[in-house]
A and B are shown apart, each in its own frame.
Chain A
Amino acid sequence: MQKKRITCLGMIICLIFIFPSLCGAQKSIILATTTSTQDSGLLDVLIPVFEKKTGYFVKTIAVGSGQAMAMGQKGEADVLLVHSPAAEKKFIAEGYGVNRRLVMHNDYIVVGPAKDPAKIKGMKVSTEAFKKIAGAGALFLSRGDNSGTHSKEKAIWKASGIKPEGKKWYQETGLGMGQTLNVASEKNGYTLADRGTYLALKKNLRLEILMEGDAILLNIYHVIEVNPAKWPKVNAAGAKAFADFMVSKEVQDVVKTFGGEKFGSPLFFPDAGKQEEELGK
């Protein structure tokens, strides 16, 4: 008898625990963005503000730019915050997205071991630096995951006329930015990273900034609403609200100072309203 009572009590307690958030299908939007954006911590600051202001529940799905746009193509996301301009333009051209608006930028840097075997420190042109790395056969780690960072890296290789795939010194990790930086640090290799992630992990890495400032290294973020004409199920109103929010003055001000105290310099530069061509000048 005693046993039965305890079992019943146990089951009731379980039921109270169970089905935690069967609710939660209220107004929600799916934001597909990149791991580096997520890892920078910027969204952790902005999203709660947006949710409070508009009452929307934002499901932030952090994947690579490639996958984010694939989700947009299938109508499985409502709004994208990505940084892969070439692919984005194609995305818009094919009619999957509308209202591509510039939000902010940061930049990529080339990091590597302090010893700098390829001697690229202080160079100003990334294509030249990459040529030197290839020439020296120095270890280079690529993300290899179709992310924005990976696309940028591939563009630089292409511009320098080098095909690194398959070469012994060129290794593709298939991992996120943070992990790739760790691998590079462990193996004393070079890699292309966004400044934000590098700064966040700097204390654990044995890598230094060896090359920065080239215009081509600009990492530009756009917000794109998924085209409701193609996918009627998308939350078009929510997507627009979020996109408007990202380019609003209030948010742009936050972006301007974000990361300042922690890393010494802000991680991003707000650009809403500007034209892409103006940047970097």
Chain B
Amino acid sequence: MDLILEGILKAFYLLVTFDPEVIKITFLSLQVSGSATLISLLIGISIGTMVALAEFPGRRFVVSLINTGMGLPPVVVGLFVTIFLWRNGPLGFLGVLYTPTAMIIAQAIIATPIVMGISLAAIQALPKNLRLQILALGATRFQMVWILVKEAKLPLLAGVMAGFGGVISEVGASIMVGGNIKGYSRLLTTATVMETSRGNFDIAIALGIILLLLAYFINLILTNIQQRERPR
């Protein structure tokens, strides 16, 4: 119990004194997960919407693939990304293994199916004739999709939050592809694992608390966007 208390105090101390290493890894966690979520948002919402609106043979198969993707074990993703990014692997020429870029790639792969699956369901949940009504108002295909996405704002943002939540808390893939290199590819999650294995529980708990605070504030912002009421 007092371990947790120690951790809280340590967290407070680290934050208030702007401990440079903690600042750096917090910033990096935000950058990496933020970038990954942004990528997953762009790809996930666009493809999810397309699949929701289109009719083509094998559509149901594609939908089940997306739904399966939502449950992809992050560690497995990390393993496969590592194998691809190895020097002697197919994408080795990129030379991005053990860099934050690799972590963004892995996290994007983890988050995208989540956002895609939820977008798909969100668009499908809209009234069937809404699409026709928007077209009847003279919208181009692009305008129609944009309006539908705006109408499904509530569940779509829930999807983005789910994607972000999934990657800000991810550790297995991030360690594998990032290498947890001090001052370079160390995140809040990977640092927590490292400090725990070193037995520095107070620091580990402190980092955990900082991670929770970070996740909370980001989700607060997203929730505000989601729930913003129209005037009156």
Interface residues of A (CB under 8 A from B): 14, 17-22, 24-25, 30, 35, 39, 44, 57, 59-62, 74-76, 175-176, 178-179, 181-182, 200-201, 204-205, 231, 233-234
Question: A61's contact among B99, B179, B198, B201, by CB below 8 Å, is which?
Answer: B179
Question: A21's contact among B101, B180, B197, by CB below 8 Å, is which?
Answer: B101
Distance to closest chain A CB from B101 (angstroms):
6
A24–B99 contact, CB under 8 A?
yes
Within 8 A of A (CB), among B176-232: 179-182, 184, 196-199, 201
B35 interface contact, C-beta 8 A: yes
Given A14-B34, A61-B179, answer yes or no on A21-B199 (Cβ-Cβ < 8 Å).
no
Distance to closest chain B CB from A192 (angstroms):
17
A61–B98 contact, CB under 8 A?
yes
Distance to closest chain A CB from B161 (angstroms):
16
Task: Report Cα–Cα, A220/B112, bound state, in Å.
Answer: 46
Distance to closest chain B CB from A102 (angstroms):
26
Given A59-B181, A233-B92, answer yes or no on A179-B87 (Cβ-Cβ < 8 Å).
no
Interface residues on B, range: 20 to 34
How many residue pairs link A and B with beta carbons under 8 A? The number is 76
Distance to closest chain A CB from B41 (angstroms):
10
B86 interface contact, C-beta 8 A: yes
B163 interface contact, C-beta 8 A: no
Q: Which residues of B contact A200 (CB under 8 A)?
A: 198-199
Task: Report Cα–Cα, A227/B187, bound state, in Å.
Answer: 32
B32 interface contact, C-beta 8 A: yes
A74–B86 contact, CB under 8 A?
yes
Distance to closest chain B CB from A30 (angstroms):
7
Q: Which residues of B contact A21 (CB under 8 A)?
A: 99-101, 184
Given A178-B198, A201-B199, answer yes or no on A60-B182 (Cβ-Cβ < 8 Å).
yes
Distance to closest chain B CB from A111 (angstroms):
13
Enumerate the 6 nearest inter-chain pairs by beta-carbon distance, A residue then B residue, closest first. Answer: A201-B199, A176-B197, A178-B199, A20-B31, A178-B198, A18-B35
Question: B198's contact among A39, A205, A234, by CB below 8 Å, is which?
Answer: A39
Chain A residue with the shortest CB-CB distance to B96: A25
Within 8 A of A (CB), among B85-117: 86-88, 92, 95-101
Q: Which residues of B contact A60 (CB under 8 A)?
A: 179, 181-182
Chain B residue with the shortest CB-CB distance to A181: B199
Question: B34's contact among A17, A59, A62, A234, by CB below 8 Å, is which?
Answer: A17
A74–B88 contact, CB under 8 A?
yes
Given A18-B35, A21-B101, A35-B197, answer yes or no on A75-B87 (Cβ-Cβ < 8 Å).
yes
Task: Report Cα–Cα, A263/B28, bound state, in Å.
Answer: 32
Told that A21-B184, A60-B179, A233-B88 touch, could you supply 17 new A-B pairs with CB distance under 8 A?
A14-B34, A17-B35, A21-B101, A22-B101, A25-B95, A30-B98, A44-B182, A60-B182, A74-B86, A75-B87, A176-B197, A176-B198, A178-B197, A179-B196, A181-B199, A205-B199, A233-B92
B75 interface contact, C-beta 8 A: no
Q: Which residues of A contact B184 (CB under 8 A)?
A: 21, 24, 57, 59
Q: Which residues of B contact A176 (CB under 8 A)?
A: 197-198
Q: Which residues of A contact B92 (CB under 8 A)?
A: 233
Residue among B28, B87, B184, B198 with max Cβ neighbours from chain A (10 Å): B198
